[in-house]
Chain A
């Protein structure tokens, strides 16, 4: 085998096709910090999730600005009508927002627990987060049904179309997040994710916190700002 002590671990990979080179690579101050063997020192999965979240800002930015553009279109304009904000139930939506905010806390506690190798608490907090997320979705479904019964359907006017598209996309993100959390719960329960693989829970957490920050913007811009 080629002496890899004086070369990079990547050279060892090319030589024998294994990651043994990382073991043979001379210990340095950097290695002692346990950097991942990637170009940046950052896990590719984590970097990809952050890049995805950055790009998802564009999606929600488009939906929010579309809603802002059409929410106050005069009713005499073809396709326009009474704005959906006439039937907003702010106290109810405030409770939903609070629930989603608390789910972010429980997600952070789940990430903290898995980083300490505390499987039991990780499972409890993952389940709590999923339940709070489901409560939020339940609230959204209830809200949509109330609006519909008040005569504000998806195609009633451009304001309602933009509103349902924006909040519906957010709801779809939350629903996907709940599935992700339940998958994490199952994998932790089965022992496939432990302290060593805790980054998977952290990445799921990043996604979950993202849906929370998007809601922070939607709640303020769409619901509260007159």
Chain B
């Protein structure tokens, strides 16, 4: 039967063993500590002068934190790929629309 195979290919390895994979508690705590360290690094830009490096650093850290929470706490890394597309389509649409708005108002000039 081809249906199961196509579903598996379509939606990724989510239900390989009957249920979506879940990380163990220890992993969640480790991820939270990692996020706390990144937050500390973000806050350090307030106390120390990073010059022109501060904004790119903050944006990179924001994207990493965002991605880690979505991938591991929200379990998207191990869930159906369709769910990733549903969420990312909304997110990318929002980013594109509002970059267009900011460009229209010459925000980056």
Contacts and interface: CB of A to CB of B under 8 A. Distances in A.
Interface of A: 28-30, 32-35, 40-42, 46-47, 50-51, 53-58, 60-62, 64-65, 68-69, 90-91, 94, 97-98, 101-102, 104-105, 107-109, 111-112, 115, 202, 205-206, 209-210, 212-213, 216-217, 219-221, 224-226
B25 interface: yes
A220 B36 CA distance: 14
A29 B3 CA distance: 10
A65 B107 CA distance: 10
Residue among A97, A205, A224, A226 with the most chain B CB within 10 A?
A224
B27 to A, nearest CB: 9
Interface of B: 1, 3-4, 7, 11, 15-19, 22-25, 28-29, 31-32, 35-36, 39, 42-43, 45-46, 54-55, 58-59, 61-62, 65-66, 69-70, 72-75, 80, 82-83, 86-91, 93-95, 97-98, 101-102, 105, 107
B83 A115 contact: no
B87 A53 contact: yes
Contacts of A28: 1, 4
Given A90-B43, A104-B73, A47 B36 contact: no
Task: Tell me the dominant secondary structure on chain B's binding face.
Answer: helix
25 contacts: A34-B18, A34-B19, A40-B80, A40-B82, A46-B83, A47-B82, A53-B87, A55-B90, A58-B93, A61-B95, A62-B98, A91-B43, A94-B39, A97-B39, A104-B69, A109-B28, A112-B22, A112-B25, A213-B70, A216-B69, A217-B62, A220-B62, A224-B43, A224-B58, A226-B55
Given A104-B73, A105-B31, A111 B22 contact: yes
Given A42-B11, A54-B91, A224 B42 contact: yes
Contacts of A213: 65-66, 69-70
B32 A104 contact: yes
A34 B35 contact: no
A103 B70 CA distance: 14
Contacts of A62: 98
Contacts of A205: 73-74
Contact of B7 (A41, A47, A202, A219): A41
Given A34-B18, A101-B39, A108 B90 contact: no
B1 A102 contact: no
A56 B93 CA distance: 11
A69 B107 contact: yes
Given A28-B1, A205-B73, A217-B62, 16 more contacts: A30-B3, A47-B86, A54-B89, A54-B90, A58-B93, A58-B94, A65-B102, A68-B102, A90-B43, A104-B69, A105-B73, A112-B22, A112-B24, A206-B74, A216-B69, A217-B66
B86 to A, nearest CB: 5
